[in-house]
């Protein structure tokens, strides 16, 4: 199913507030003034999603160097995200999006009749205007390289 009115480059992200793996409410507005790298992914503890999440963790200092905040989102529970974050030492927010409300507000595509998040990453500027979008289900770790490369090109 293709979502109606998907966010595209140049659009401002819709504001959102979700619970993270520590059961703390995270608002997108908490990060105004910083670029965001928001990645939607299908499922905690699966090979591709784990590789992607750990790759974002491994490049944390590179994202910090360009001032960006990484945020992972899917529909799993806070408890699932807590276990996922602890097992793999993920130190960025992993947000629980029950019912895919935020993903759908982005117009981000889903799988299995839109019941599972597809793998898509949105990179924004400091005002949360989308500057880059990368979508690839199979190339999970390329999301990190693609988003970081784009952000570094802005700093030059």
The residues assigned a catalytic role are 49
CB-based burial, 41-53: b 16+ in 10 Å, e otherwise: bbebeeebbbebb
Whether the CB-CB separation of 5 and 17 falls below 8 Å is answered with no
Whether the CB-CB separation of 121 and 20 falls below 8 Å is answered with no
In residues, how long is the chain? 156
- Pick left, alpha or beta for residue 25 (phi over 0 → left; psi -120 to 50 → alpha; otherwise beta): beta
């Amino acid at each position: 199913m293709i979502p109606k009115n998907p966010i595209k480059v140049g659009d401002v992200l819709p504001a959102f507030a979700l619970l993270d793996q520590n059961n703390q409410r995270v608002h997108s507005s908490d990060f105004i003034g910083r670029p965001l790298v928001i990645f939607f992914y299908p499922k905690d503890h699966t090979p591709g999603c784990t590789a992607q999440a750990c790759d974002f963790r491994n490049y944390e200092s590179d994202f910090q160097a360009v001032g960006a905040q990484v945020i992972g989102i899917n529909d799993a529970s806070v408890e699932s995200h807590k276990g996922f974050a602890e097992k793999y030492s993920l130190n960025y927010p992993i947000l629980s999006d029950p019912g895919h409300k935020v993903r759908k507000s982005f117009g981000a595509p889903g799988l299995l009749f839109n019941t599972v998040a597809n793998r898509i990453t949105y990179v924004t500027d400091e005002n949360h205007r989308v500057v880059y979008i990368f979508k690839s289900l199979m190339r999970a770790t390329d999301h990190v390289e693609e988003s970081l490369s784009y952000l570094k090109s802005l700093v030059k």
